[in-house]
A = this chain, B = another copy of it.
Amino acid sequence: MNVAVLGSGVVGRTLSAKLEDCGHKVVVGTRDVDSLLARTERAMGGRLPPFSEWYAQNSAVGLGTFAEAAKHGDIVINATSGAATLDVLTAAGRANLGGKVLVDISNPLDYSGGMLSLFVSNTESLAERIQKSFPEANVVKTLNTMNAGVMVDPKSVAGGDHHVFVSGNDADAKARVVDLLRNDFGWTNVIDLGDITTARGPEMLLILWVQLRTTFGTAAFNFKIAR
């Protein structure tokens, strides 16, 4: 399958490498390819190597503009920051998203205040805003409630005994995403919450997620619904 991964940060890299390993043809989308490859500084307080370094070790992955990547993908994954998402999708191009499955794993994080908050929440979600802005795409919200490493290797935490949520209006699009979660990433516990408005719950969960990461001092955890 042809997959576009919009975003070259830790989430985009982790998903791209895993999807390529699973036999998909992946193109990472970025704003400016030359500028991305020219960067030499590390990011995330030194923890993230420059993209070029990662790219040298993952040369099977393609690289293009947001529009080139989106055009390539049968499935388009939004792995950009929440704040950049609508601009990035606009750059990807409405025509390149039409009829596609648009997997939104971003979070509307707002670091501008003294404490982390969400720039959209409670009465709307970022996923709904994306779906309204790009009605020709089939938006599926998923994977936003955990660390990138857990997304692609659920068994790395508690043997995989925890949950991932999906929300979306289109049943076929959700089914394709659930297949990818199960078959490619190894998820055994997927909860379909309902239409795209149900993305509010998983997005609002991020505040607790960040608190827990602070409390534990690690991101190697996930939410399980015990029954």
Enumerate 29 A-B pairs (CB-CB under 8 Å) in ascending A order.
Answer: A113-B123, A115-B200, A121-B121, A121-B122, A122-B204, A122-B207, A157-B226, A158-B226, A161-B226, A162-B224, A162-B226, A191-B212, A191-B215, A193-B211, A194-B211, A201-B207, A201-B212, A204-B207, A205-B205, A212-B225, A216-B227, A220-B227, A221-B225, A221-B226, A221-B227, A222-B225, A222-B226, A224-B224, A224-B225
A-side interface size class: 35 or more
A197 at the interface (CB under 8 A from B): yes
Chain A contacts with B in 175-197, Cβ cutoff 8 A: 191-194, 197
Beyond known contacts A200-B207, A224-B225: 18 more, CB 8 A cutoff: A115-B123, A115-B200, A122-B204, A122-B207, A157-B227, A162-B226, A165-B208, A192-B215, A193-B212, A194-B211, A194-B214, A198-B211, A201-B212, A204-B207, A205-B208, A220-B227, A222-B225, A223-B226
Report which A residues bind B (CB closer than 8 A): 113, 115, 117-118, 121-123, 157-158, 161-162, 165, 191-194, 197-198, 200-202, 204-205, 207-212, 214-216, 220-227
Interface secondary structure of A, over-half rule: mixed
On chain B, the residues within 8 Å of A192 by CB distance are 215
With contact pairs A194-B211, A226-B158, A226-B162 given, residues A204 and B121 touching in the complex (Cβ less than 8 Å): yes
A19 to B165, CA, bound (A): 36
| CB pair B226 A225 closer than 8 Å | no
Specify the chain B residue showing the minimal Cβ separation from A216.
B227
| CB pair B201 A211 closer than 8 Å | yes
Nearest 10 Cβ contacts at the A-B interface: A201-B208, A162-B226, A158-B226, A204-B204, A224-B224, A201-B207, A224-B226, A221-B227, A201-B211, A117-B122
With contact pairs A215-B191, A223-B225 given, residues A197 and B161 touching in the complex (Cβ less than 8 Å): no
Specify the chain B residue showing the minimal Cβ separation from A150.
B226
A201 to B116, CA, bound (A): 11
Determine which residue in A192, A198, A216 has the highest number of CB atoms from chain B within 10 A of its CB, and name it: A198
